[in-house]
């Protein structure tokens, strides 16, 4: 079963189907979230600067199992998502928008999977009691207010401003410039050839239409990261990407491995992939997600039987 969901967007702003065809609404552009399958609810949250398109292959593979209803929205301030409605963005504001979408779906809770910024928001939603389980794929937010690692990440994105300007100025034509593929994929994949031309074009389009870039970076300089992971109350899965150049382990995973409850979290290492592994290894990402979710569902079933 395949469905699309309007998720609170103005009806005139929407396109049909889950392919994400978009229409301009004033200065914003909105598109339907990916919504596929039936079964256990699974929420997929994308990285900073990018959009729901990073999940296209994985979402379809999850739905094709016949066990999961998959919802992958574009978060506020990102290409195709709703307006943030505020000058500055934070993980809390992003979580507010996602919670509204969950409410409109009728989902009190879901298995939440997030990559990078999406992982940060996933743990924020867990703190609010909206998660059945949480999977962070190279999650951001593993720092305190003044941790040097936080400012290292901010510096990496500031150094990327010339690339952002080039994307704004040239659009897809920027990919014809020398070394453009290497530069465009450096933060995303282990090797430049791991991302297809179609995916690269979508990445450039996402970067060109992401007001969250400055909204979130400015706010992040003053914000703490995830302070409550030690109180995480659901099964948690930390997925580390071996070739991650943005949040490399163990420097950026240590906060999670040190503070997540030892008896309810597990760690998986994905060999040979970069920060956004859904592009270069969608099948492996799907296997990692389904393996963990199936464990969670079996545990829930045993608990219900023992209490029934």
Integer Cα distance of 245 and 63 in angstroms: 30
Active site residue 64: no
Helix (H) or strand (E) holding 118: helix 117-127
CB 128 within 8 A of CB 107: no
Angle, vertex CA 253, rays to CA 277 and CA 40, nearest 5: 55
- Of 78, 111, 265, 275, the active-site residue reads 275
* Backbone phi and psi for residue 64, each to the nearest 5 degrees, phi listed first: -65, -15
Angle, vertex CA 62, rays to CA 42 and CA 238, nearest 5: 60
CA dihedral (88, 250, 256, 303) in degrees, to 10, reads 130
Active site residue 209: no
- Of 116, 180, 189, 253, the active-site residue reads 116
- Of 32, 133, 244, 265, the active-site residue reads 244
Q: How far, CA to CA in Å, does 233 sit from each of 22, 256, 260, 278?
A: 38, 14, 9, 27
CB 104 within 8 A of CB 212: no
Active site residue 4: no
Residue 11 tokens read as 């009806």
Residues involved in catalysis: 116, 244, 275
């Amino acid at each position: 079963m395949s469905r699309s969901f309007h998720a609170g967007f103005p009806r005139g702003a929407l396109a049909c189907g889950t392919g994400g065809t978009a229409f301009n609404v004033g200065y914003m552009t909105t598109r339907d979230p990916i919504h596929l399958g039936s079964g256990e609810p699974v929420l997929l949250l994308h990285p900073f600067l990018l959009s729901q398109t990073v999940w296209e292959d994985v979402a379809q593979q999850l739905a094709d199992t016949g066990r999961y209803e998959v919802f992958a929205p574009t978060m506020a301030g990102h290409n195709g998502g709703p307006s943030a409605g505020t000058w500055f963005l934070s993980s809390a504001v992003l979580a507010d928008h996602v919670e509204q979408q969950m409410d409109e779906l009728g989902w009190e809770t879901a298995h939440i999977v997030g990559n990078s910024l999406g992982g940060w928001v996933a743990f924020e939603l867990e703190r609010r009691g909206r998660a059945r389980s949480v999977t962070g794929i190279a999650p951001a937010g593993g720092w305190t207010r003044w941790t040097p690692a936080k400012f290292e990440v901010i510096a990496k994105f500031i150094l990327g401003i010339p690339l952002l300007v080039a994307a704004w100025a040239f659009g897809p034509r920027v990919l014809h410039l020398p070394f453009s593929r290497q530069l465009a994929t450096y933060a995303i994949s282990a090797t430049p050839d791991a991302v297809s031309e179609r995916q690269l074009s979508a990445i450039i389009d996402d970067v060109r239409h992401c007001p969250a870039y400055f909204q979130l970076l400015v706010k992040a300089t003053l914000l703490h990261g995830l302070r409550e992971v030690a109180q995480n109350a659901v099964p948690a899965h930390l997925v580390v990407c071996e070739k991650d150049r943005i949040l490399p382990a163990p420097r950026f995973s240590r906060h999670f491995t040190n503070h997540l409850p030892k008896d309810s979290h597990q760690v998986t290492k994905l060999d040979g992939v970069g920060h956004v592994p859904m592009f270069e290894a969608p099948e492996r990402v799907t296997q990692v997600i389904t393996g963990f979710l199936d464990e969670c569902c079996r545990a829930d079933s045993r608990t219900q039987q023992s209490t029934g």
